[in-house]
């Protein structure tokens, strides 16, 4: 993939509400609360694209598209 393709693939990030908030909320310490991050995701216009990106790229950490890694693993097992 060329750099231009990568930029196009991530263009949705410019509309992501998380880009305007504290990034630490999306990468909580083990056992930390994900509630605030998920609340931002619920209102985000690109949360679906975010989740698609996380699933396609096997993101291991953080809240992506409103789901934690554990929730994304379950979704993957169900054959999303």
pTM for this prediction: 0.84
Q: What does the alpha-carbon distance between residue 33 and residue 37 come to, in Å, rounded to a whole number?
A: 9
pLDDT at position 6: 57
Whether the CB-CB separation of 41 and 63 falls below 8 Å is answered with yes
Would you say 11 is a known binding-site residue?
A: no
Q: What does the alpha-carbon distance between residue 21 and residue 41 come to, in Å, rounded to a whole number?
A: 11
pLDDT per residue as tens digits for the range 48-58: 999 999 999 99
3-state class (DSSP) for residue 33: coil
Nearest by Cα to 63 from 75, 51, 73, 52: 51
Query: Which ranges of the chain have pLDDT less than 70?
Result: 1-7, 80
pLDDT at position 1: 41
Would you say 45 is a known binding-site residue?
A: no
Q: What does the alpha-carbon distance between residue 55 and residue 62 come to, in Å, rounded to a whole number?
A: 12
Would you say 41 is a known binding-site residue?
A: yes
């Amino acid at each position: 993939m060329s750099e231009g393709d990568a930029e196009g693939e991530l263009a949705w990030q410019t509309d992501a509400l998380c880009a305007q908030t504290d990034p630490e909320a999306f990468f909580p310490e083990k056992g930390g609360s994900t509630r605030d991050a998920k609340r931002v995701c619920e209102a985000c216009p690109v949360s679906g694209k975010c989740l698609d990106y996380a699933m396609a790229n096997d993101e291991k950490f953080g809240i992506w598209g409103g789901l934690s890694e554990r929730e994304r693993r379950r979704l993957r097992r169900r054959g999303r």
